[in-house]
Amino acid sequence: MNRFEGSGEVVDTPVLIVGGSLVGLSASLFLGRLGVPHVLVERHAGTSVHPRGRGNNVRTMELFRGAGVQRRIRDAASVLARNNGILQAPSLVGDAGEWLFREIDPGGGLARFSPAAWCLCSQNDLEPALRETAAGLGGDLRYATELMSFEQDAEGVTARVKSRETGEHTTVRAEYLVAADGPRSPVRERLGIGQNGPGDLFHNVSVTFTSRGLAEVVGDRHFIVCYLTDPGADGALLPVDNRERWVFHAPWHPERGETLEEFTDERCREHIRRAVGVPDLDVEITGRAPWHAAERIAERYAEGRVFLAGDSAHEMPPTGAFGSNTGIQDAHNLAWKLSAVLDGWAGPGLLASYDAERRPVAEATSARASSRSVEHSHPGYAPDPGISPAGRKGGILNVVLGYRYPRGAVLGADEAAPVVPDGLRLGGEPGTRSPHLWLERAGERISSLDLYERSPVLLSTAGGTGAWHTAAARAAARLSVPLDSYRIGAGPDADLVPEAGADWAELHGVTEGGAVLVRPDGFVAWRSEGPVEDPETELRTVLATLLDLA
C-alpha cells in the first residue's frame, strides 16, 4: 500500500504550492491569471501581521500591473506614498545626517523605461491584497495547513498535508510542486539540495512599537528607512504609518551568546530612545521578531517535478529589498512555463530553463545586496576586512530591471554577457526585458508590456508584404502554439500605433523588415534583425526549439 493512502480527503490538482507568503501568493496569483488550477498550503493561520518586506521594485510592480492587482496594492500602500529616500544620522535630534539617496526616481527618468513605478507596501498590507485576488481567480488557498511529507514519481507528486486546526490529513496529487516555504525550506532539505554562498552575515531583532511623539521628532523627513548610528544604540528606524506605528531593527549578536530573551521591553525601549536622541520619548513595545541576513543560493532550483522559489532557493540581505522581489519574479518566470507545459503547447524541457535563468540572477543579485549592506553600514553588519561595496556600477536599476538571461529559453543571446550589466540597456536583445513603448490599440493607450502575459507575441512592422504576420498565423497553427502577432505602424493594416516620434523597430534593434518574438513574461526570446527568405519555416523552427517541441 502506498504510504499516502488511507482516510481523509484526496485532491487532484495540476500544481501544489507549499508556502503562502509573498512568493507563494504571487505564484498563486500568476497561475490563476493563466487559468491553471492549483492548491496552496500555508502552515500559518493567516497572512503576515509584521510590517516587513516593504520595498516593491519597478519590475515587480510591472508584474503586478500585468496581473491586474497594481491598483489594489497602491491603495494598500497609500499611507507610505510620500516616503522616499534613505537617511543616515547619529540621531533624529537636529539636522545632522546624510541622505544616502533622497529620491528613488529623481527627475522621473524611470518613465522612459517602464509604465510602472516603485511602491512602498509592507508585507502585512501586500499579502492580503494578493490573497484576495488569488482566491478570486480560483486559487484553492488553505491556511493553517502544513505539508507533512511528499513523494514524486515520473507522472507527478503525491503530498500529505495536515490541517493544524482540525488535525485532518489530506492527500494532494499534483503534477508539479512549487516550494515557496522559506529559507529553512523542509522541501529543499527533503530533496537533499545543498546551498552555496557565504552563509549568515548578521542578525537583527525587528521591534514593533507605537510612539505618538516620534512623528514630531521626524518632522518632514519622510524616509523609507533611517539608519541611526549612535555607537551604543545603532539601528534602523522604519515608519509604518508616519504617525504612531514604527519598526526598529536592533543589532543582535547570537554569535556572542546574546539571546532573544535579553531583548526585554525595557531594553528595547531605552535602545530606541537613545538611538532617536530623545531620552523621554514615549515608546510602547508591541512585538519582536528575529531575522537573519544571509547570502545563500541553492545548488539547483529543481529536482524532478519539484521547483524551489523565493527564500527556499536564495537568501540575501534585506538592503535594497532584493530578496522578496527576486522571489516574486521567480514565481512569474515559473508560472508561464508551467502553464505552457500543462496546456500542451510546450514540452517539459522548457521547465529546465527555470534554473538556467533564475539561479544566475539570484547569484548576481545577492552579491549586490551584500555589497549594498556594506555601502549603507547596515546595523549589526561587520563585514570581513577587505570586503568593499563592489557592484556599485550602474546604480540599482541595472539590477532590478536590466538583468538578463544569457542562457535558457532564449535564442541568440550573448552567453558571455554578464547577468547584471554595468548600466541599464533595454534594446530588444534576446534575453533582456522587452523595451517599454506607449502604443494605441483600438483607441486605448497601452504599454507594449501590456501585450505580454498569456502567450508568446511576435512584433513586426505594418505595411509591406506582412510576411511575418502571415508566418506567425501559419506557424502557430502547425505547432498548436497560442502565438499572438501584432503589426506596428500607422498604416491601415496596423494593429498597434506607436506614440508620435517613436520608432518601435529601432527601439527593439531591428529594421522595418525584422521581427521580435517576446515571451509571456516580457523577455525577448528571439529576434530577426531583418527579413528572411522563408519566415514561416524560420519562426516554426524557433518556436519548436524554444518550447521543446522539436
DSSP 3-state assignment of 382?
A: coil
Q: Locate cell 514561416: which residue?
A: 536
pLDDT band of 142, cuts 50, 70, 90: very high
**CATH fold group of domain 9-75+121-191+299-376+389-400:** FAD/NAD(P)-binding domain (3.50.50)
Burial of 550 (0-12, 13-18, 19+ CB in 10 A): exposed
Q: Which residues of 370-382 are buried (b: 16+ CB within 10 A; e: fewer)?
A: bbbbbbbbbbbbe
Average pLDDT over residues 498-505: 94
Can you give the pLDDT at residue 51?
77
Cα angle for residues 519, 521, 525 (degrees, 5° grid): 30
Which of these ranges, 6-10, 332-336, 345-349, 467-471, has the smallest mean pLDDT?
A: 6-10
Chain centroid offset of residue 482 CA: 26
Q: Tell if the pTM clears 0.85, that is, is over it.
A: yes
pLDDT over threshold 50, residue 5:
no
Residue spans per domain, the chain: 9-75+121-191+299-376+389-400, 78-117+195-296, 438-546
pLDDT tens by residue, 47-77: 988 777 788 999 999 999 999 999 999 999 9
Question: What are the Cα distances from residue 91, in Å, to 40, 222, 247, 272, 381?
Answer: 44, 15, 16, 10, 19
Q: 449: closest CA among 61, 34, 31, 29?
A: 61
The confidence score (pLDDT) of residue 379 equals: 64
Distance (Å, whole) CA 337 – CA 194:
24
Q: What is the pLDDT of residue 44?
A: 96
Q: What digits encode the pLDDT tens for the residues 243-277? A: 999 999 999 999 999 999 999 999 999 999 999 99
Residues 387, 100: contact at Cβ < 8 Å? no
Grade residue 46 by pLDDT with cuts at 50, 70 and 90: very high
Q: 324-382, pLDDT tens digit by residue?
A: 999 999 999 999 999 999 999 999 999 999 999 999 999 999 988 877 766 555 666 65
Average pLDDT over residues 530-534: 96
| Domain 78-117+195-296 class, CATH top level | alpha beta
CATH number of 438-546, picked from 3.40.30.120, 3.40.50.620, 3.40.50.300, 3.90.76.10: 3.40.30.120
* Distance separating alpha carbons of residues 352 and 342, to the nearest angstrom: 15
